[in-house]
Amino acid sequence: MNTVNFAQKFAKLADHWSPHVIAQLNDLHVKIAKIKGEFVWHSHPKTDELFIVNKGEMVIHLRDRQVAMKAGDMFVVPKGVEHKPVAEEECEIVMIEPAGTVNTGDAGGDLTVDQPPWI
């Protein structure tokens, strides 16, 4: 049982779109990632996904609207809703979702991380 310092954890990340687990709460993983550019359209048919922006800005594209987020903002994408995160500049995000949730959901592809490492 130790504290987790976000700045220290984010400093260890080198690649964009490469989530890492920093904590587990019951059956949920707390993940962090640095993002830049566009991710893939995807959904998570069985689970909601929570996003928190730690640093920077991002937009979560939904099929019917866009959700702009800045540092300190949180947004929950409901299960089954297609979404595509986008960040024009580097952005640090925190995600909370069930352990075993694949980052690209039902879409797959080159950015898929099946087993994100702990950091």
- Determine the pLDDT at residue 85: 98
Minimum mean pLDDT range among 15-19, 46-50, 98-102, 105-109: 105-109
What's the predicted TM-score (pTM) here?
0.95
First to last CA, the chain: 15
Positive/negative CA dihedral, 110, 113, 117, 119: positive
Spans of all domains in the chain: 22-119
For residue range 17-66, what is the model confidence (pLDDT) as tens digits? 999 999 999 999 999 999 999 999 999 999 999 999 999 999 999 999 99
For residue range 2-21, what is the model confidence (pLDDT) as tens digits? 899 999 999 999 999 999 99
Contact 7, 103 (CB under 8 A): no
Contact 83, 43 (CB under 8 A): yes
Asked whether residue 106 carries a pLDDT value surpassing 90, the answer given is no
CA distances from 77 to 9, 28, 46 (A): 24, 16, 12
Superfamily designation of domain 22-119: Jelly Rolls (2.60.120.10)
For residue range 58-95, what is the model confidence (pLDDT) as tens digits? 999 999 999 999 999 999 999 999 999 999 999 999 99
- Determine the pLDDT at residue 22: 98
- Determine the pLDDT at residue 55: 98
In degrees, rounded to 5, the angle at the alpha carbon of residue 62 between the alpha carbons of residues 58 and 63 is 150
